[in-house]
């Protein structure tokens, strides 16, 4: 199959990955209402076509947190992305560099920060969750500084994990011991290309940044158990002062849907926020990002760099998020699918598709540069 779109990459990923991994990426929490809403609400936004405005010199570049980038997008943090393709995060960081955009490494990546730094030739972004062990947080932040990570994305919408039914059905969650391992092994054996690429050639299968806390355990269940025990639901805005004081570079709070929370982020001295519902993977039933974004931009757009993610499946969706007021857009499943389907080349191609779609959309909405994109390119708004 020739991939011409992000939904095509989703289909290729479905064919290549064992079921437990595809469903882990594709799924959302509970009845997946918010997951569907993210996509549907973006699709529903009608663009205002304008013609004959000489937009022959399009400029898609922008600047986020002091760094020039070729497109107004970044790769979102995706936990365990390294299981989608051999040493997956290393392939993805190289693809992001080729496209001239930032890559974000998740706290819970498969490849460690040091391995990704070796694969990279430029600074990348690091994403952190609030972990009970503040000493470990300090260690991770220290390492991020030493490895020259340029921006910290601090995710706040996972004090507890949302329940994902698909993970129970696939055996990724709730199937402890040998029985679960056998189910997953069987699913892996049914996908020989993946089994060879990741299962055999992708070794060692460590748990990246948290491996040192797992005392030699490498099982997927050990990892999820660690997450359940160590994610901190007692976190409050006061704890963000700790993060702000430990991290001197640009700090971006990810996972906000409410203007009041966005004001708190501005008050603690954050540089930016990501309007996000974790891709519909946490509290099902909350607003889509596209719905939540405009009031947040109205409340804090002059104080903070507002980014957004959730449901972006084309360059048109990127344009829609920018028109709603985002200064940049994070791509989540879009790159996870492309990586699973074709590795680094897949992510590079997916980003080319985004760029090409943005060029058409900018030409036909009559905007020549990213800075010109605002709500005036939307119909009926």
Ligand X SMILES: Cc1cc2nc3c(=O)[nH]c(=O)nc-3n(C[C@H](O)[C@H](O)[C@H](O)COP(=O)(O)O)c2cc1C
Instruction: Kindly write out the interface string for residues 36-75 of this chain, putting x where it contacts ligand X by CB under 6 A and - elsewhere.
Output: --x-------------------------------------
* The one among 60, 83, 108, 373 contacting ligand X by CB under 6 A: 108
Site membership for ligand X, residue 279 (CB under 6 A): yes
**Omega of the bond leading into 195 within 30 degrees of 0 (cis):** no
Angle of the 134-146 helix axis to the 237-246 helix axis, nearest 10 = 40
Site membership for ligand X, residue 127 (CB under 6 A): yes
Number of helical (H) and strand (E) elements in the chain, helices listed first: 15, 10
Residue closer to ligand X by CB (options 184, 254) is 254
Please state, in angstroms and rounded to a whole number, the distance separating the CA atoms of residues 370 and 377: 12
Residue closer to ligand X by CB (options 55, 77) is 77
* The one among 276, 288, 314, 365 contacting ligand X by CB under 6 A: 276
* The one among 77, 88, 250, 343 contacting ligand X by CB under 6 A: 77
Catalytic residue among 169, 205, 278, 349: 278
Least distance CB 362 / ligand X (angstroms): 21
Residue closer to ligand X by CB (options 297, 367) is 297
Site membership for ligand X, residue 315 (CB under 6 A): no
Least distance CB 125 / ligand X (angstroms): 11
* The one among 309, 348, 355, 357 contacting ligand X by CB under 6 A: 309
Residue closer to ligand X by CB (options 86, 164) is 164
169 among known catalytic residues:
no
Residues 346, 338: contact at Cβ < 8 Å? yes
Please state, in angstroms and rounded to a whole number, the distance separating the CA atoms of residues 365 and 378: 9
Please state, in angstroms and rounded to a whole number, the distance separating the CA atoms of residues 208 and 197: 18
Residue closer to ligand X by CB (options 50, 244) is 244
DSSP-assigned letter for residue 324? T
> Residue 290: in which H helix or E strand, if any?
helix 289-300
Angle of the 259-267 helix axis to the 237-246 helix axis, nearest 10 = 40
- Distance set, CA 252 to CA 73, 240, 314 (Å): 15, 11, 24
Site membership for ligand X, residue 151 (CB under 6 A): no
Residue closer to ligand X by CB (options 21, 367) is 21
* The one among 29, 106, 151, 344 contacting ligand X by CB under 6 A: 106
Site membership for ligand X, residue 339 (CB under 6 A): no
Site membership for ligand X, residue 155 (CB under 6 A): yes
Q: First and final CA of the chain: distance in angstroms?
A: 39
Please state, in angstroms and rounded to a whole number, the distance separating the CA atoms of residues 148 and 142: 10
Site residues for ligand X, 215-254, by CB under 6 A, read 254
* Angle at the Cα of 153 from the Cα atoms of 357 and 77, rounded to 5 degrees: 55
Judged by DSSP in three states, 370 sits in helix
Site membership for ligand X, residue 25 (CB under 6 A): yes
> Residue 74: in which H helix or E strand, if any?
strand 73-75
Residues lying near ligand X in the complex (CB under 6 A): 24-25, 38, 76-79, 106, 108, 127, 155, 254, 276, 278-279, 281, 309-312, 330-334, 336
Catalytic residue numbers read 278
């Amino acid at each position: 199959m020739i991939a011409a779109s992000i939904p095509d990459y989703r289909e290729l990923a479905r064919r290549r990955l064992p079921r437990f991994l595809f469903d882990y990426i594709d799924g959302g929490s509970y009845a997946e209402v918010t997951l569907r809403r993210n996509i549907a609400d973006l699709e529903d936004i009608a663009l205002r076509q304008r013609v004959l405005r000489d937009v022959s010199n399009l400029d898609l570049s922008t600047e986020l947190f002091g760094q020039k980038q070729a497109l107004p997008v970044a790769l979102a943090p995706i936990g365990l992305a390294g299981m989608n393709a051999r040493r997956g995060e290393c392939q993805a960081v190289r693809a992001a560099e080729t496209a001239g955009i930032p890559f974000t490494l998740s706290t819970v990546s498969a490849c460690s920060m040091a391995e990704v730094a070796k694969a990279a030739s430029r600074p990348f972004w690091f994403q952190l969750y609030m972990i009970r062990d503040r000493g470990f947080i300090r260690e991770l932040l220290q390492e991020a500084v030493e490895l020259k990570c340029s921006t910290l994305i601090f995710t706040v919408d996972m004090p507890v994990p949302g329940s994902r039914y698909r993970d129970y059905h696939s055996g990724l969650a709730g199937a402890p011991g040998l029985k679960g391992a056998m189910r997953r092994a069987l699913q892996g054996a049914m996908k020989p290309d993946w089994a060879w690429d990741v299962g055999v050639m992708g070794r060692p299968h460590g748990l990246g940044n948290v491996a040192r806390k797992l005392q030699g355990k490498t099982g997927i269940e050990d990892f999820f158990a660690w997450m359940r025990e160590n994610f901190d639901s007692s976190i409050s805005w006061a704890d963000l002062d700790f993060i702000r004081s430990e991290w001197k570079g640009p700090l971006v709070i990810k996972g906000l849907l409410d203007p009041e929370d966005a004001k708190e982020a501005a008050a603690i001295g954050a540089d930016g926020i990501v309007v996000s519902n974790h891709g519909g993977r946490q509290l099902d039933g909350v607003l889509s990002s596209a719905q939540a974004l405009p009031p947040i931009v109205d409340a804090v757009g002059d104080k903070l760099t507002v980014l957004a993610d959730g449901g972006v499946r084309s360059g048109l969706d990127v344009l829609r998020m920018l028109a709603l007021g985002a200064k940049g857009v994070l791509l989540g499943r879009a790159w996870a699918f492309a990586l699973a389907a074709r590795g680094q080349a897949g992510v590079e191609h997916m980003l080319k598709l985004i760029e090409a779609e943005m060029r058409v959309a900018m030409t036909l909405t009559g905007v020549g540069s990213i800075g010109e994109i605002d709500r005036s390119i939307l119909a009926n708004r």
